[in-house]
Chain A
Amino acid sequence: MSCHSTETLTAIRGDVPENPRREIRTVALIGPPNSGKSTLFNRLTRLRQKVGNYPGVTVEQRVGLLAGRGHEIRLIDLPGVYSLTPYSDDERVAVDVLTGQMDGLPRPDAVLLVLDVTHLSRQLVLAKPVIALGLPTLVLLNMADVFAKGGGSLDVLKLATELGTPVAMVSATRGTGLDAVDRFLRQDHDQRPSALLPVLQDLPQSRKWASQVGRRIDYQQHLPSVWGRRLDDVFLHKIWGPIIFVIVVGAVFQTVFGLGQPMSTAFQDLLTKLGLQASPLVPDGILRSLLLDGLWKGVSSVLVFLPQILLLFLFIGLLEDSGYLARAALIADRTMRSVGLNGKAFIPLLSAYACAVPAIMATRTIENKRDRIATILVAPFMTCSARLPIYTLLIAAFIPERPVVGVLLGSRACAMLSLYVLGFVAAIATAKILKSSVLRSSAAPFVLELPEYRWPTWQSIGLRLFDRARVFLRQAGTYILGVSLLIWVLTHVPLHQGHAPQLEQSAIAYLGHGIEPLIRPLGFNWKIGVGLLTSVIAREVIVGTLGTIYGTDPATHSMTLQNALRQDLTFAGAMALLVFFAFAMQCTSTLAIVRRETNSWKWPVVQFVYMTIVAYAAAFAVNQLLSTLVK
């Protein structure tokens, strides 16, 4: 019997269970990377899932509930592994979960093993150690649709006999064949270890076994579509390849930046209006201030990132699912290598020009942990859109418009360009330093698999977008809320006859005065100091804070913010402030997302300290240099 169509062919082993009935409560999902495991997980759980991290390692833990079952069955999504030899963190986690040694997780009662049927000879190697664990196992041969379409075939019954487990052909993207999982979980299973398969640690031996099995089950390799080759001839062409690459990347950047920015602004306006609409519902006074100025502002400062995140991930989803992302990484690798990063870091770093938060979330496509952390640490140096308000304010206030290169490039544009270059140079320098010291010697050679081209499905992209949005809101939201509440409290104590004090008399102004000796050498006064403190939430907050401070000060009350700043800051001080903002890590959202993505406080703290020191040193140098030069 061979399979030529997408219809399900399930072969169930004929053994009668000898052990007493054991109900299945926990199921582990395991498979090699790129086997379509995550798509299958999303399909099976229909988003009823919890995302976290395994203790102590940067490995994501996903646990979901199997949809539509009588009693609840937990499905654990294990990281993609090629073998069960504890060689990497991923494999250690997989082995610990499967053997019941992982804290907080019971030993699974059954295993779903996902293998990409189009690359069975390579993937079958994993079947052996997994089945040898002795847990009831269902082997799911994924991508059955692609396989059948390309003329591939195999004898499913023979494979089931070879492995001693049931085998089912499925397609996770199309959702076909998944009823086999239901049937498997409803059955009774014995727990005796399979004696059929001696575990061979030696890889060439395992491969030999796999190819022998392949011959015995009449495995016919499917033929990759001619279109794939033709597309690669264009996308990886010596001349057309880079041109298409630039166009695609430019389009993504342009959309995330050009469309995402107005969307964020519109979204923010909407949120502000909502807040104003809601304000009469709360009695005037400290409570309303807490709810609106503290909580709601904090929440909306997180929410405004959503349009950009969703847009970026829509594009990354389309590029990744269609198979182009791997080609883009292949083209970019040569350039990225010169700074010690790999080609997969290109898209995340580029999107950091719009916002570092989605960029850092996008680094997940980088499998190499050290390269990924280096990319995460470098990304916030890229000039993100949150820096633009303070950049435009200071440049407009302090740099007179003068043509530099004819009419094409004025002095203000030059200043803006230099700030972009400054951030880029800092990023490259940091990457070089990191890769030649702390994060040196990438753990494994750079390897990039070029998947076959295929049409992305809306459902799989939609599920991913939903997942990203939820992760961002839950993880970043909690920290941001905390910080914005703290800042709100600092601006509202000490109370004056039950009322909040003027900003100059609040605790934060006191802190601003406190750090004045520290920032005096940079050319900043205490007002800027307060701005620096409040902008720890987000960079653009400094503009609002400065507006409030100068607006309530009688001396500068009637002036515009630009004029007030011109009176209060020297030219050198203003330039120092620009440089400070180019380097400083003034963004709680980014810190929170770094904490989440690296699963430790170490990296966000290192990043914050490093970037602040760089910013301080650079601003100090600029202020000292310019004040001696200008005089």
Chain B
Amino acid sequence: MLQALIVTLREGAEAALVVGIALTYLTKDRTEDRSKDRPQPSPRIRRHRAGRANGAGPSEDRKRVGPETPELLVALTDLAMGEAGTIDHIALPPGDQQFLMRIGFVPGAQVRFSRRAPLGDPSVYAVDGTEIALRAETANYIMVRRGWLSPLGDLP
């Protein structure tokens, strides 16, 4: 009797898991779309750019880059699905930089946003012929130039 109940319990736990995942997916689906057509870079990136331009605001920064190349430097998370770019720099502490560089995120390397995890995060990036998943909390700090502009090239 009790055994049968335990089995039912286990099945219940599994069912709860399915429902939970479905719910998480549904809630996540909405936030994900918002991030995709976000017109402005995230505040974090803006702050970061301001730092690079020695206190200059984001508007001055863009002027410096030139009007014909708008939004050239973006975070990895700002790439559209399937879009490729060239890594410019990693705005993280040296230790994390080293770590990311050793797995392939080297300035100059080409990277492509290849897919998103079903629950929205992490995202999968193709770099160096390998698919590597990073959370947005990390990918936000990897700055890329849009398009294939690599001066360095990579292995063919």
Contacts and interface: CB of A to CB of B under 8 A. Distances in A.
Interface of A: 82-83, 85, 87, 118-122, 125, 203-204, 207-208, 210-211, 214-215, 219-221, 224, 232, 236-239, 241-243, 245-246, 249-250, 253-254, 257, 330-331, 333-335, 337, 388, 392, 395-396, 408, 410, 412-413, 416-417, 420, 444-450
A122 B130 contact: yes
Given A83-B102, A204-B106, A334-B24, A413 B9 contact: yes
Contact of B156 (A119, A221, A449): A221
13 contacts: A204-B106, A208-B152, A221-B155, A224-B129, A242-B21, A242-B118, A331-B117, A331-B118, A333-B117, A333-B121, A335-B119, A413-B5, A417-B12
B95 A215 contact: no
Interface in B75-113: 92, 95-96, 98-104, 106-109
Interface stretch (B41-49, B51-59, B132-140): B132-140
Contact of B138 (A85, A236, A445): A445
B17 interface: yes
Contacts of A412: 2, 5
A444 B104 CA distance: 15
Given A241-B117, A333-B133, A446-B134, 4 more contacts: A236-B118, A337-B135, A410-B5, A450-B124
B103 A330 contact: no
B65 interface: no
Chief secondary structure at chain A's binding surface: helix
B103 A447 contact: yes
Contacts of B124: 236, 330, 450
Contacts of B108: 204, 207-208
Contacts of B13: 420
B31 to A, nearest CB: 11
A417 B9 CA distance: 7
A172 B86 CA distance: 34
B2 A331 contact: no
A450 B115 CA distance: 12
Contacts of B18: 243, 246
Nearest to B131: A450
A352 B134 CA distance: 27
Contact of A203 (B28, B95, B101, B117): B101
Contacts of A214: 155-156
A630 to B, nearest CB: 23
A60 B156 CA distance: 37
B25 interface: yes
A211 B132 contact: no
A82 B102 contact: yes
Nearest to B6: A416
